[in-house]
Amino acid sequence: MKQATRQRKYTTTILKARRGQDWLVDHLSHILQEGKQELDRFLQELGGMRAETILELDREEQAGPD
C-alpha cells in the first residue's frame, strides 16, 4: 500500500472519530466524502464569515466597540 493511501485512510479514520465535535472537522470530513460540491459550500460559508468579520471590524473602527 502506498504511503499516500495509508495517510488518507488514517486521516479519514481520525476525522470520523472526531466528527460532531468540531465545526471544521465536520466540514473537512464532508469534503472528503462529497468532493468539490462540499468544498464549494465550505468556501462560500468561510467567505461569508470573513466578510462579516471585516464589516464588524470596520464598524468598530468608525463607531467604537459595542
pLDDT in tens, 26-35: 778 778 888 8
Tell me how many degrees the CA angle 18-4-6 measures, rounded to the nearest 5: 55
pTM above 0.75, yes or no: no
Alpha-carbon gap, residue 18 to 33, rounded angstroms: 15
pLDDT in tens, 9-60: 777 777 666 665 677 777 787 788 888 888 888 889 889 989 988 888 888 8
Instruction: Check if the beta carbon of residue 31 is closer than 8 Å to that of residue 38.
Output: yes
